[in-house]
Amino acid sequence: MTGEEVLGDPDPRWVRSARVLWRQTTTELLLLNPDGGADDVVCLTGTGAELWALLDHPLPLGRVAEVLSQRHDAEVSVVAGDVAPVLDRLAEAGLVIRLGSPS
Amino acid sequence: MSAGTERILAAIAASGLAGVHPSLPEVALGQADWRAVLDGVAVQRLAGLLARAIAGGHFAVTDDQAAEAARLEVKWASQALALERVLIGVSERLDRAGLDHLVLKGPAFAHRLYPDPNLRSFADIDLLVPGGSFDDALATLVARGGRRRYDEPRPGFTARFGKGASVVTPGGYEIDVHRSFVAGPLGQRIDLASLFASAVPFTLADHPMRQLAPEEGFLHACYHAMLGSATPRLVPQRDLAEFVLGMGLDVDRVLRLARAWHGQAVVARAVALAWSTFALPHDHQLAAWALAYRPSPAEERAMAVSAGSGRSYEGEAVATVSAISGTRNKAAYLRAVLFPDRDYLRRREGSYRARLGHGLRLARQLRDRR
């Protein structure tokens, strides 16, 4: 965890871990944490790959949901509900980092 | 492999190159032809380029063929990630041990030369280490469970005269640890110390590493294209085309280095081959030089003993002795190739008789040269 990561922050921002290896194929986005224990490559498709593209700089969940909802003509709250568990799983795998909200 | 399949594979390897319009199938291939192309793509490591050509609408396929190509692309991309993870671990271990090393080919070229690293597949990791720390680097990798392939005739031979050795990790990944780009006389002529002095940094997933400077990297691509396998492969040719067309090489520096390394014929042949394979425009300075270059008889001999059907153990050894500087070094080289360790003989050749045959032929060739 970096010094900036704050687990209890009510409006954290999310960003790709700079330590992640990744490849964008024509059909899937493949991610691998070089510090991970297993050889499992994480595959993202569709909006998962879009999410990864958005996280090249830190964004709060609300902003991510706004962008994706505009692109896909969906309710922001619905998108946020879908994205939140994905972010949590990516964070558990060490692929994205949860940062404190900007001061 | 049919000429038609070879033409399609060369066109796949050329796809996306600036100014090149390769002739790819405009109608989906029949199943037998498609199978031959897909097998060739796997052997030539062109999965990323094929998938991109299909996705861009430049290669006509059926839905099933598109799905097969996509699966092959994902397989090679997953392997690239796994290999890059191995590279990061190895590089960190060598750094901790204070052992200098440069990343060659695969990941270094994928991230430097190509607009998308997924276009450059690779099947192993290649490192260059100084001869003086070669054995320590090997020991560092073996200490973590790696298994060394390719024995050496005497301890310290590879560190002093050889091309390198391979280590297979416990996970089955191959790491080629190079002392030089090639074996034989051409490998002896390369100024290896200068490669480390001019090396440039790059990062792989936030991990600092180093690779060859652009001109040295291009020369390595040429050596690999011409001498890396019995039949020149397509990806090394694509690498050197990327260097020439996309890197803004200092051509004068390239030619100065090639001359100093006695490698002009290698560079000329490699560039001419790639230009012919990919039908590249001849108006580039380096291409014009390569097409006009006429190798000397000595250069022809050095090429012949280093690659192709003319390659032989004895011929390479004789030519290598000539290229090694210093009487003591020559003597040490000859002693190792003529009188290797018993263990090496037992593992490599099975008996002294076979080695004796090599030794007699080598002695005869050395005598004939006097």
Give per-residue pLDDT as tens, B175-194: 999 999 988 888 889 999 99
- CA count, 13 A, side-chain hemisphere, B226: 29
A93–chain B Cβ distance below 8 A for any pair: no
Decide if pLDDT at B1 tops 90. Answer: no
The phi and psi torsions of B242 (rounded to 5 degrees) equal -60, -40
Specify the pTM: 0.88
Closest chain A residue to the Cα of B80, Cα to Cα = A23
Output the average pLDDT for chain A.
Answer: 87
**What is the number of residues in chain B?**
370
Taking the Cβ of residue B81 and every Cβ of chain A, the question of whether any pair is shorter than 8 Å is answered with yes
Residue B18 has which token pair?
Answer: 């600036």
Listed in sequence order, the residues at least 6 apart from B216 whose beta carbon sits closer than 8 Å to its beta carbon are: B194, B195, B198, B199, B257
| Contact state of A25 with B207 under an 8 Å Cβ cutoff | no
Q: Cβ(B339)–Cβ(B157) under 8 Å?
A: no
How far is it, in rounded angstroms, from Cα B68 to Cα A27? 12
Tell whether the model's pLDDT for residue A30 goes beyond 60: yes
Give the CA radius of gyration of chain B. 21
pLDDT in tens, B196-228: 999 999 999 999 999 999 999 999 999 999 988
Q: Where are the alpha helices (DSSP H) in chain B?
A: 3-14, 31-44, 47-55, 63-96, 106-113, 134-143, 157-161, 184-189, 192-197, 214-227, 234-246, 251-260, 264-278, 285-292, 297-306, 313-323, 327-338, 342-348, 352-369
- For B10, the token pair is 């060369």
Cβ–Cβ gap B85/A34 under 8 Å: yes
Cβ distance B74 to A22 less than 8 Å, yes or no, reads no
In the predicted model, is pLDDT for residue B82 greater than 80? yes
Strand bridging mode A21-24 / A13-16: unpaired
Q: Which of B117, B171, B205 sits opposite A34 (nearest CB)?
A: B205
Of B70, B78, B88, the CB nearest to A30: B78
Inter-chain CB proximity B82 and A27 less than 8 Å? no
Contacts of B80 in chain A (CB under 8 A): 23
Classified as helix, coil or strand, B211 is strand
Tell me what pLDDT residue B310 has: 64
Chain A interface mutation, best of B59, B73, B74, B203, highest count of A Cβ atoms under 10 Å: B74
Q: Is the pLDDT of residue B161 over 90?
A: no
Contact B124, B110 (CB under 8 A): no
Q: What is the pLDDT of residue B134?
A: 95
* Rg, C-alpha atoms of chain A: 13
**What distance in Å separates residue A78's CA from the closest CA in chain B?**
31
Percent of chain B whose predicted confidence (pLDDT) is above 90: 65
